[in-house]
Amino acid sequence: MSDNPDRFLRLPTVLERTGLSRSTLYRKIERGTFPKGVAISTRCTGWRESSVAAWMRNPIYYHVDDAPSP
């Protein structure tokens, strides 16, 4: 087992860490400039912590197609 497992972050945590508003976050997802969420249950979405961290390292030039596969 990995010492640093990839956790799922819920929306409030993603917004807090990134400083983005909810509408900006979803607009960036639609444009492919922020990682897509992962359905973790019927009405629950989370974002991989590693994907959010990758975006935070390079937010201006991040594009989903450039992101490494988990």
Indicate the domain borders of the chain. Answer: 8-66
Distance in angstroms (rounded) separating the CA atoms of residues 33 and 54: 11
User: pTM of the predicted model, to two decimals?
Assistant: 0.83
Q: Can you tell me the mean pLDDT for 36-64?
A: 94
What's residue 64's pLDDT?
85
For the segment 46-55, what is each residue's pLDDT rounded down to a tens digit? 999 999 999 9
Say what the pLDDT of residue 59 is.
93
Whole-number Å distance between alpha carbons of 12 and 2: 26
pLDDT of residue 65: 79
Minimal CA–CA distance to 40: which of 31, 32, 53, 49?
A: 49
Averaged pLDDT for residues 44-69: 88
pLDDT in tens, 12-21: 999 999 999 9
